[in-house]
């Protein structure tokens, strides 16, 4: 929609080109449709309202007042039960008809079976009651007034000069006497789009309030939460990469240089001197520290994952595992960086759990890409009986998967085998 173009008939009323736009005709269409929709709504209600119709027809004059009261109560109960069933389709129809005078989105109508306990159901009932009473009366009266003005415009052609013609509030006998009324009615008809637009604007405002979608703000909040979570994941991955780069290019290189210097210093000392023994111990400790730092850097963000993707990274995990691990991977191409990182650390943590708690002698890792989903499975031949309630490891796996909107499934009967299946959405 072009910027600045009115989205509602109320906004169009404030523009100079209102009379020369499509909005007056849309307002007329909405006005004419109201009594028709009200008539369609009343028809099915005549059956449950039969006890009330009997009372209203005066056929209860000879009946005891208890019977009259019973008819009124039965009619009320039948109407209360039937109104939601009539209001639901009328509400859906009115949502579409509202687009004539209000182009703003209203949200999706409630889906599923009708529920009496929902507030949306009774708001639709309230709208139906207003539609068949106030809405229908105002629309019929306005349509009647417009028809009367149209008759006044044509009144000069109805006068033959011999008989009197009643114009509602006066009578005329000649065309000259009818012309002023026709001119005034013509001017009123030309200006009628303004009051008609105001009337249907008020009707649309009531419809928007009563037929709104309560879940729309909640859905918008959930979408925003999902977007903010995705932004946090990206930010976390960026920070993880920065830390890995700083450690690899800074601290690790300096530690390598220190190890080399300690090794060169050992060459200049006699092997049987006390300084040589201390330097050897320092040299060994520096090498162990360098190994630990290398493992830490790899754990922060493995280089193979960045360079070659998830299949190669899973192979590296299998090589480093303390038990034999076979890998089956069918993941063509690269995935989004957050998805690859989550997949890697999910498998790494699952293999750590296998090594620590399952008493397994072998494990299998499989990765496959289904339409829109990366599926990871880690199985082992251990003793089974894994329970998320007994520790935070499996809960951590589920939390990692949930970060990108995925889920974790677990099968671990006593005696094994244990299968952890993780599904991550991917494009």
pLDDT exceeds 60 at position 59: no
Number of neighbouring beta carbons within 10 Å of residue 111:
5
Rounded to the nearest integer, the mean pLDDT of the chain is 79
pLDDT exceeds 90 at position 31: yes
pLDDT exceeds 80 at position 47: no
- Predicted confidence at residue 36, as pLDDT, reads 92
Cα 338 to Cα 72, 82, 329, 342, 349, distances in angstroms:
66, 53, 19, 6, 16
Q: What is the pLDDT of residues 313-367, one digit of tens each?
A: 888 888 888 888 888 888 887 887 778 888 888 888 888 888 888 888 889 999 8
* 47-51, 260-264, 361-365: which is most confident: 361-365
- Predicted confidence at residue 134, as pLDDT, reads 92
Q: What is the pLDDT of residues 112-167, one digit of tens each?
A: 677 777 778 888 889 999 999 999 999 999 999 999 888 888 888 877 766 667 77
- Predicted confidence at residue 3, as pLDDT, reads 45
- Predicted confidence at residue 248, as pLDDT, reads 61
Q: How confident is the model at residue 296 (pLDDT cuts 50, 70, 90)?
A: low
Q: What is the pLDDT of residues 98-122, one digit of tens each?
A: 989 988 877 666 666 777 777 788 8
Higher pLDDT, 340 or 194: 194
Q: What is the pLDDT of residues 227-237, one digit of tens each?
A: 656 565 565 56
pLDDT exceeds 70 at position 385: yes
* 66-70, 201-205, 274-278, 337-341: which is most confident: 201-205
Q: What is the pLDDT of residues 298-324, one digit of tens each?
A: 555 677 777 788 888 888 888 888 888
- Predicted confidence at residue 1, as pLDDT, reads 38
- Predicted confidence at residue 190, as pLDDT, reads 92
- Predicted confidence at residue 2, as pLDDT, reads 38
Higher pLDDT, 254 or 292: 254
- Average pLDDT, integer, range 238-251: 64
- Average pLDDT, integer, range 55-74: 65
Higher pLDDT, 419 or 401: 419
Q: How confident is the model at residue 287 (pLDDT cuts 50, 70, 90)?
A: confident
* 90-104, 131-145, 413-427: which is most confident: 131-145
């Amino acid at each position: 929609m072009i910027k600045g173009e009115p989205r509602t008939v109320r906004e169009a009323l404030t523009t100079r080109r209102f009379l020369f736009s499509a909005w007056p005709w849309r307002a007329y269409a909405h006005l004419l449709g109201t009594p028709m929709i009200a008539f369609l709504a009343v028809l099915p209600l005549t059956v449950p309202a039969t006890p009330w119709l009997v009372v209203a027809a005066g056929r209860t004059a000879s009946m005891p007042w208890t019977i009259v009261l019973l008819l009124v109560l039965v009619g009320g109960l039948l109407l209360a039960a039937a109104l939601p069933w009539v209001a639901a389709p009328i509400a859906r129809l009115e949502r579409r008809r509202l687009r004539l005078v209000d182009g703003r989105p209203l949200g999706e109508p409630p889906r599923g079976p009708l529920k009496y306990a929902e507030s949306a159901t009774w708001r639709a009932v309230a709208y139906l009651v207003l539609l068949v009473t106030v809405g229908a009366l105002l629309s019929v009266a306005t349509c009647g007034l417009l028809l009367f003005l149209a008759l006044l415009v044509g009144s000069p052609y109805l006068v033959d000069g011999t008989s009197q013609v009643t114009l509602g509030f006066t009578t005329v006998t000649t065309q000259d006497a009818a012309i002023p009324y026709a001119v005034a009615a013509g001017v009123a008809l030309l200006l009628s789009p303004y009051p008609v637009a105001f009337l249907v604007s008020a009707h649309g405002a009531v419809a928007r309030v009563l037929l709104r979608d309560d879940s729309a703000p909640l859905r918008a909040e959930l979408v925003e939460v999902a977007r903010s979570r995705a932004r946090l994941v990206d930010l976390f991955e960026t920070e993880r990469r920065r830390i890995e780069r700083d450690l690899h290019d800074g601290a690790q290189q300096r530690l390598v240089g220190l190890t080399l210097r300690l090794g060169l210093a050992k060459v200049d000392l006699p092997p049987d001197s006390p300084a040589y023994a201390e330097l050897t111990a320092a040299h060994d400790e520096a090498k162990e520290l360098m190994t630990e730092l290398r493992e830490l850097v790899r754990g922060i963000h493995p280089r193979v994952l960045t360079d070659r993707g998830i299949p190669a990274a899973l192979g590296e995990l299998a090589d480093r595992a303390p038990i034999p691990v076979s890998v089956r991977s069918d993941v063509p191409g690269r995935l989004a960086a957050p998805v690859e990182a989550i997949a890697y650390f999910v498998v790494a943590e699952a293999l750590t759990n296998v090594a620590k708690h399952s008493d397994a002698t072998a494990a299998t890792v499989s990765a496959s890409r289904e339409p829109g989903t990366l599926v990871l499975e880690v199985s082992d031949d251990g003793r089974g009986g894994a329970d998320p309630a007994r520790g935070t490891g499996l809960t951590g796996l589920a939390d990692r998967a949930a970060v990108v909107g995925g889920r974790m499934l677990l099968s671990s009967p006593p005696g094994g085998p244990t299968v952890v299946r993780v599904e991550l959405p991917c494009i």
